[in-house]
Amino acid sequence: MSEQGTHELPAGWLPPSAPDPPAERPSAFGEPRRAGGGRFRRAGSGLLATLAVIGAKLKAILVLLPKIKVLTTSGSMLVSVAAYALIWGWKFAVGFVVLLFIHEMGHVIALRREGVEASAPVFIPFMGAVVWAKSLGGNALAEARVGLAGPILGTIGAAACVPIAAATGSDLWTALAFTGFFLNLFNLLPVTPLDGGRAMAAMAPWMWFVGLGAFVVLAISFPNPIIVIIALVGAFDVYGRWTRRRRGGDSQAAYYDVRARDRVLVGLVYLALIAVLVVGMDATHLQRSIPS
C-alpha cells in the first residue's frame, strides 16, 4: 500500500466481537496471499496487466516501425542494392534500384496530383517497391491515371539509358535500358495489383480475368516464387474487386462510371506504352554467346 493518504485509527475503534481477518500465507512471489479462491483472481488480474503492457509495447513498435531506418526510402534502397549486388554486381544493382525509384515516383506524383497523401517508395529486395496511400483516387479514371503514371515515368527513365549507352559504348547501360523496358512492360499486365490492372479499372474490368489467366499460365510454365505470389495476390484482389463491384450498389457504380472518351484515352495510352516498351526491348536486347 502506498504511504500517501494513510493514517492511524484510534484505539478501540473496532468492536471487540469483530472476527479476525482470514489468515494470510506467502505466495510464490513472496507477497502475502489470502487463502481461498482469491489467488486465482489475483493471478488473472496479473496476467491481464502483463498482456496489457505487452500490447502497449507492441503498439508502440508498430507505430515506430515505418520510422526504422531500414524501412525508410534511403535505407531500403541500400538494402535492395546490397541484395541485387550479390547477383548482378553493385553497378547494375544501383542502376536497377534507381529505375525502380523512378517508376514508383510516377505513382507518388500522380497520387499527390489526385489529392491523395502518398508515402515515399519503400523497397523490398526481389519484390520491387511499394508506395503507401489511403486510396488510389476518387474513381476508376483516377486509379488508371495513378497506375499508368508509373510505367510512363519508368519508360522515360529506361529510355534515358539508351543515349548514355550509345555515347559510352557500355553494355551496362544497354542492359539497364532493356531491364527497365521489361520491368515496365511486365507491370502493364492487366491484373491487379499490377499497373495494367489499375488501367483496366477505367477501361475494361473484365480484363482482370484475362491477366489472371496469363499469370496462371506463367506460373505453370515458368515456376517462380514471385510470379506465384503475384498470381495469388491477384486472384484474391480480382475476386474481391469483382464481388464489391457487383454488390456495391450506387457507390461502386459511380466509381466505375467512366466516360467513353476517357476510356478510349486510357486505352490509347496503355497500348502506346506497350508498343514503345516492346520496341525498346528489341532495340536494347544484347546477344550473348554461350562458350562451347
226-263 tens-digit pLDDT: 888 888 888 998 888 888 888 878 888 888 899 999 99
Q: The C-alpha cell of 232 is what?
A: 495469388
Residue 49: the pLDDT is 57
% of residues, the chain, pLDDT over 70: 74
171-186 and 140-168 helices, crossing angle to 10°: 170
Give the pLDDT confidence score for residue 181 in this predicted structure.
97
Same domain for 46 and 93, yes or no, is: no
pLDDT of residue 270: 96
Look at the chain and report how many structural domains it folds into: 2
Predicted pLDDT at 40: 45
Asked if residue 79 is part of any domain, the answer here is no
Answer yes or no: do 57 and 95 share one domain. no
pTM: 0.71
pLDDT of residue 224: 80
160 shares its domain with 242: yes
Higher-confidence residue of 17 and 135: namely 135
Q: What is the pLDDT of residues 138-154, one digit of tens each?
A: 899 999 999 999 999 99
Contacts of 258 (CB under 8 A, 6+ apart): 139, 140, 141, 202, 203, 266
Lowest mean pLDDT among 10-14, 46-50, 144-148, 258-262: 10-14
- With cut-offs at 50, 70 and 90, classify the pLDDT of residue 19: very low
Domain encompassing residue 147: 88-284
128 shares a domain with 34: no
Peptide bond into 193 cis (omega under 30): yes
Position 214 confidence tier, pLDDT thresholds 50, 70, 90: confident
| Mean pLDDT, residues 99-120 | 92
C-alpha span between 155 and 148 (Å, rounded): 11
- Do 54 and 149 fall into the same domain? no
Cα 92 to chain center, whole Å? 24
141 CB-near residues (< 8 Å, 6+ apart): 202, 258, 262, 266
Minimum mean pLDDT range among 10-19, 188-197, 265-274: 10-19
CA-based nearest residue to 158, from 177, 182, 185: 177
In a domain, 278, yes or no: yes
Tell me, yes or no, whether 139 and 38 share the same domain: no
- Helix, strand, coil percentages, rounded to 5, for the chain: 65, 5, 30
- Per-residue pLDDT averaged across 23-50, rounded? 48
Q: What's the rounded mean pLDDT across residues 8-16?
A: 38
The answer to whether residue 183 scores a pLDDT higher than 90 is yes
Q: What is the rounded average pLDDT of the residues 87-102?
A: 94
Which pLDDT score is estimated for 162?
Answer: 96
Q: Within this chain, do residues 176 and 31 fall inside the same structural domain, yes or no?
A: no
Residue scoring higher pLDDT (131 or 156): 156
- Residue 22, helix vs strand vs coil: coil
Cell digits of residue 62: 508498430
Rounded Cα gap, residues 187 and 154, in angstroms: 10
Q: Is residue 73 part of a domain?
A: no
Do 158 and 194 meet the contact criterion of CB atoms below 8 Å apart? no
What is the rounded distance in angstroms from the CA atom of residue 265 to the CA atom of residue 122? 31
Q: Is residue 162 part of a domain?
A: yes
Q: Which one is predicted more confidently, 287 or 292?
A: 287
Q: How confident is the model at residue 59 (pLDDT cuts 50, 70, 90)?
A: low
- Residue 5 covered by a domain: no
Residues 35 and 105 in one domain: no
Structural domain includes residue 227:
yes
Q: How confident is the model at residue 264 (pLDDT cuts 50, 70, 90)?
A: very high
Q: Is the confidence at residue 287, as pLDDT, over 80? A: no
Same structural domain for residues 233 and 130? yes
Any domain includes 4: no
User: If you average pLDDT over every residue of the chain, what do you get?
Assistant: 79
| Whether the predicted pLDDT of 179 surpasses 50 | yes
- The verdict on 58 and 181 lying in the same domain is no
**61 and 144 assigned to the same domain:** no
Q: Is the pLDDT of residue 10 over 80?
A: no
Domain membership of residue 54 (yes or no) is: yes
* Res 138: pLDDT: 86
265 and 227 fall within a common domain: yes
